[in-house]
Amino acid sequence: MSDLETDTEWSHLLGRGMDGALKGKTLTPLISDMVTWDVWKREYPETTALNMSQTSKNYSREFYREPTQFVFGFKAIGKPWSLAMDQMLKRPVHQFELGDEPLLATFDERGTVTHLFSRDIGGQTLDFEQVDGLTMKDHQTSSHWSMITGSATAGAMKGIRLTPHVGIMSYRKAWKNFHPDSSDIAF
């Protein structure tokens, strides 16, 4: 991708200027979702959108018909990591620790979206299990949580939101090309 102001070419997997006026500069990552409109609208019903001509015909659930080709990549404790998409399909709520950071990855097959959250709430580490398609509960308080937003929807934690982490869905091969030192998260 390139920006219009400086015509710098950027690597979306590194967030770094590769050529042009801002070569070597790094973008600040933002948490964003690549999700179907149906799922987004269900979670955020007040959303409006600008209807523009389609620029890609590739994004749909069919895009992931070969899940072994994809990973959810992210950085933690100073290095890159990846979660295998085929494993997320089998286990849509997956908790793990990297260093002293308790993390939770969730996957919504219908919306084809993965989220990464901290499981730490005010110094307490929560343990989660999936209840149904888009709901999970923690073992400590039995509160129910949205797998998409990371918000508690019922129980003692209602109104609390897990802290999200930046990550990106990528072709496995591309992620490994840009992050050859990346480690896979074991399931």
Q: Hey, which of 5-14, 65-74, 177-186 has the most confident mean pLDDT?
A: 177-186
Please indicate, yes or no, whether residues 163 and 140 belong to a single structural domain of this protein: yes
What pTM was estimated for this model as a whole? 0.80
Question: Are residues 74 and 25 part of one domain?
Answer: no
Q: What is the pLDDT of residues 37-76, one digit of tens each?
A: 777 788 788 988 777 666 655 555 565 678 889 999 999 9
Q: Is the pLDDT of residue 30 over 90?
A: no
Token output for 34 = 């690549």
One domain, residues 99 and 167: yes
Contacts for 78 with CB less than 8 Å, ≥ 6 apart:
none
* pLDDT confidence of residue 63: 58
Query: Taking a C-beta distance cutoff of 8 angstroms, is the pair 80, 73 a contact?
Result: yes
55 in the same domain as 8: no
What is the distance between the alpha carbons of residues 84 and 69, in angstroms, rounded to a whole number?
Answer: 9
| Number of domains comprising the chain | 2
CATH code (residue 101): 2.102.10
**26 and 47 inside one domain:** no
Residues 139, 100: one domain? yes
Tell me if 58 sits within 8 A of 91, measured CB to CB: no
Do 123 and 36 reside in the same domain of the chain?
A: yes
Tell me whether residue 51 is exposed, middle or buried, using C-beta atoms within 10 angstroms of its C-beta: 0 to 12, 13 to 18, 19 or more: exposed
Cα(109)–Cα(93) distance, rounded to whole angstroms?
11
Of 33-42, 50-59, 85-94, 167-176, the least confident: 50-59
Instruction: Give the domain range for residue 16.
Output: 1-30
116 CB neighbour count, 10 Å cutoff: 22
pLDDT of residue 61: 57
Query: What percent of the chain shows pLDDT beyond 70?
Result: 92
User: Can you give the pLDDT at residue 55?
Assistant: 60
